[in-house]
Amino acid sequence: MQTSLSRIVEVAKQEKKRRFRALYSLLNKTNLRVAYYSLNKNAAPGIDRISFSEYGENLEANLDELVSSLKEKRYRAKLIRRVYIPKAQGKLRPLGIPAISDKILQYAVAQILSSIYEVDFLDTSFGYRPKKDAHKALYALRRGLLNRKSWVVEADIKSFFDNINHKYMIKMLMQRVDDRALLKLIWKWLKAGIMETTGKVLHPTTGTPQGGIVSPVLANIYLHYVLDLWHEKRVTPACDGGTNYTRYADDYVATFQNYRDAKQFMQEMKTRLQKFNLELAPDKTRLLMFERFRKGRSKRFSFLGFEFWWGTSQTGKDMLMHRTATSRFRQSVLNVKEWCKANRNKRIRNIFTRMNRKLTGYYNYFGVEGNFKRIGQFYQTVIENLFKWLNRRSQRRSFNWKVFSEIVDYYGLKQPKITKSLYPTKGVSFA
């Protein structure tokens, strides 16, 4: 499959208007076997409750049946099992979990679509893409803010994955895909029924489930046409001053040199999104001043868990500052408290091992140069909560600060660490 995908990439680069045929034929047994072994082995099972390992016990026969169903056009997408995971402020995020056979097919199709569209996607798009990540999006945003941009439009699309218009989605795919069988396969996934936790089955008319392996690339294709190209081809040429745009999935920020350009963008953006069955989340969308020479009137804004503002360095120079967003920091602290409370009766060695994994993940994301104070504060809350809840393993107080400090020294707790930088040619590489 890798050879076929490499060839697709080369052709897509050379022929920008090429519509690819015979893609469905790539869904053969050899390629689906590769797709199976590329899946997350520990992922939750779908509606049929068949796990990765259970499917693999009779892998060859299962793949034979899957390929046969595709060739004979009798393949049907199974119901998607819906689960809910907690978000900030007590909210829940719905996730759709496909069956293992659908995951295999979706992985293979996602690889095919990525090979075609990665050539077309713009550098302003960062989410769900190879060699692109949130830190590179933050780096690009910061670079734009330093480029004398005084107005910021902070935007978020309301329930984006639930509102993707299916017909528009297929029309967008048809710009590059001329394979009826593959398009019908994707259509089946878009229309697949969703089984709620109550047992009720929903039949969606819009959207693509978060959790589906093919959903991220479909989402990027949709927003490539809805927003990315629109900003490059229509918005930028119409601006009197400069503008920058950074998108990570359905969360994006546009910066402008002139207020009039920013205001016009806000108005036209709403109309543009409505055309494609989308709308802005009003509580997460705003136009604000971000002027380095008027710091007293400039506002703060957040993007991908970090907040930005203009401040003053220790030497009195204007400085673009960033740190963990206050709302994200508070949620992380709350999560630590709840975890320590729920796990306080486990073996101390296991508690410290798991907490160190959590701290490693936290530092890998929030350990950005310029944010050391905030990650230090987070580390301190971890210490305080461990001390508090380990002392409540029984009705009697277990130990004082001296004994607790000796335990921390013995088992080890990962200290705050800078792992990334948003500053060009300085500090730890962001790549």
For residue 283, what pLDDT is reported? 87
| CA–CA distance, 217 with 74 (Å, rounded to integer) | 25
Rounded to 10°, the helix 348-366/401-411 angle is 70
Q: What is the 3-state secondary structure (H, E, C) of the chain?
A: CHHHHHHHHHHHHHCCCCCECCCHHHCCHHHHHHHHHHCCCCCCCCCCCCCHHHHHCCHHHHHHHHHHHHHCCCCCCCCEEEEEEECHHHCEEEEEECCHHHHHHHHHHHHHHHHHHCCCCCCCECCCCCCCCHHHHHHHHHHHHHCCCCEEEEEEECCHHHHCEHHHHHHHHCCCECCHHHHHHHHHHHCCCEECCCCCEECCCECCCECECCHHHHHHHHHHHHHHHHHHHHHHHHCCCCEEEEEECCEEEEEECCHHHHHHHHHHHHHHHHHCCCCECHHHCEEEECCHHHCCCCCCEEECCEEEEEEECCCCCEEEEEEECHHHHHHHHHHHHHHHHHHCCCCHHHHHHHHHHHHHHHHHHHCECCCHHHHHHHHHHHHHHHHHHHCCCCCCCCCCHHHHHHHHHHHCCCCCCCCECCCCCCCCCCC
Query: What's the pLDDT at 430?
Result: 38
DSSP 146: H
- Cα four-point dihedral sign 163, 100, 3, 179: negative
Contact 66/105 with Cβ under 8 angstroms? Answer: yes
Hey, what are 371's tokens?
Answer: 């944010």
pTM of the model: 0.92
Task: Fill in the DSSP letter of residue 96.
Answer: E
- Altogether, the residues listed in the chain come to a count of 431
Rounded to whole angstroms, how far apart are CA atoms 182 and 186? 6
CB 84 within 8 A of CB 95: yes
Residue 425: the pLDDT is 54
Q: How far apart are CA 367 and CA 68, in angstroms?
A: 49
DSSP type of residue 300: P
pLDDT in tens, the chain (431 residues): 677 899 999 999 999 999 999 999 999 999 999 999 999 999 999 999 999 999 999 999 999 999 999 999 999 999 999 999 887 667 788 999 999 999 999 999 999 999 999 999 999 999 999 999 999 999 999 998 988 778 999 999 999 999 999 999 999 999 999 999 999 999 999 999 999 999 999 999 999 988 899 999 999 999 999 999 999 999 999 999 999 999 999 999 999 999 999 999 999 999 999 999 999 998 889 999 998 888 778 899 999 999 999 998 888 888 999 999 999 999 999 999 999 999 999 999 999 999 999 999 999 999 999 999 999 999 999 999 999 999 888 767 777 899 999 999 999 999 999 999 888 654 444 33
- Find where tokens 């004082």 sit: 400
Residue 159 Ramachandran class (φ > 0 left, ψ -120 to 50 alpha, else beta):
left
According to the model, what pLDDT value does residue 159 have? 92
Give me the pLDDT at residue 398, please.
73
CA 123 – CA 323 distance, rounded (Å): 24
